[in-house]
């Protein structure tokens, strides 16, 4: 027997799923698999937006600052402690309490999505959501990081993105790690898939990119 989460999705999720079916030209099984994946992505993106709001409105000032530096700037608790002039234990406790607050506030949403009477927000799930939040906040200094943040902010895996771009995962990772330069054709594919527009200028003989949502 299917649970209620298999039967009930939001209007926005339904619209996105129907659009996916129309544009993809999938058969029934492919369409169902694609819709399941799409709904999961939409829910993660929505959860990330909620976490952004929790960070800004429900955490103390120190919790907000330490969480942003730990999750979004990639600083260690030791580095934060040195820069802020506090003990590492203080930073660790503050970040831990903030994570617990975020997880507790997310519990009802995760329970609804999974149709469970009770659930604990797993650390891996929280890490995934924080990764989406970080990607949404940071555009990136170079084109590789920018493309990675575009992908992650849309909750798309490297495998899904590589398939959509018609390249290998190895090639995608090489571009995201700035070991290879994307072609203009590949940027056009990113624009079409993720709904973004790229602009660039030549600075010291090299292209400098900027992007924005369409």
Q: Each residue of 19-56: pLDDT tens digit?
A: 666 665 655 566 566 677 778 888 899 999 999 999 99
- As for how many domains the chain has, the answer is 2
**Do 67 and 10 lie in a common domain?**
yes
**Do 14 and 120 lie in a common domain?**
yes
End position of a domain, from candidates 108, 137, 166:
137
End position of a domain, from candidates 99, 122, 137:
137
**Do 41 and 105 lie in a common domain?**
yes
Q: Give the pLDDT score at 165.
A: 87
Q: Give the pLDDT score at 107.
A: 93
Global pTM exceeds 0.85: no
What's the N-to-C CA distance of the chain in angstroms?
41
Cα–Cα distance measured from residue 45 to residue 183, given in angstroms and rounded to the nearest whole number: 28
Tokens 């571009």, located at residue: 175
Tokens 């409105």, located at residue: 57
**Do 50 and 104 lie in a common domain?**
yes
Domain hosting 84: range is 1-137
**Do 109 and 176 lie in a common domain?**
no
Q: Give the pLDDT score at 18.
A: 67
Q: Give the pLDDT score at 27.
A: 59
**Do 8 and 110 lie in a common domain?**
yes
**Do 9 and 26 lie in a common domain?**
yes
**Do 70 and 26 lie in a common domain?**
yes
Is 124 strand, coil or helix?
helix
The CATH code of the domain that includes 147 is 1.10.260.40
Low-confidence spans in the chain with pLDDT less than 50 = 1-7
**Do 109 and 177 lie in a common domain?**
no
**Do 33 and 118 lie in a common domain?**
yes
**Do 68 and 102 lie in a common domain?**
yes
**Do 50 and 76 lie in a common domain?**
yes
Residues 210/200, Cβ–Cβ less than 8 Å: yes
Q: Give the pLDDT score at 1.
A: 34
């Amino acid at each position: 027997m299917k649970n209620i989460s298999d039967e009930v999705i939001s209007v926005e999720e339904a619209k996105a799923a129907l659009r996916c079916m129309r544009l993809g030209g999938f058969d029934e099984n492919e369409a169902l698999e694609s819709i399941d994946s799409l709904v999961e992505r939409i829910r993660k993106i929505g959860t990330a937006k909620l976490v952004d709001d929790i960070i800004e409105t429900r955490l103390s000032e120190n919790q907000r600052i330490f969480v942003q530096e730990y999750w979004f700037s990639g600083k260690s608790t030791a580095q934060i402690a040195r820069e802020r002039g506090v003990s590492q234990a203080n930073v660790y406790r503050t970040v831990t309490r903030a994570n617990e607050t975020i997880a507790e506030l997310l519990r009802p949403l995760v329970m609804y999505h999974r149709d469970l009477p009770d659930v604990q927000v797993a650390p891996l799930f929280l890490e995934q959501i924080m990764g989406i939040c970080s990607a949404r906040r940071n555009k990136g200094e170079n084109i590789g990081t920018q493309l990675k943040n575009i992908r992650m902010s849309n909750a798309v895996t490297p495998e899904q993105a590589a398939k959509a771009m018609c390249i290998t995962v190895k090639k995608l990772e090489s571009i995201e790690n700035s070991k290879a330069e994307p072609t203009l054709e590949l940027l056009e594919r990113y624009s079409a898939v993720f709904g973004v527009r790229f602009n660039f200028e030549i600075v010291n003989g090299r292209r400098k990119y900027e992007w924005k949502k369409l």
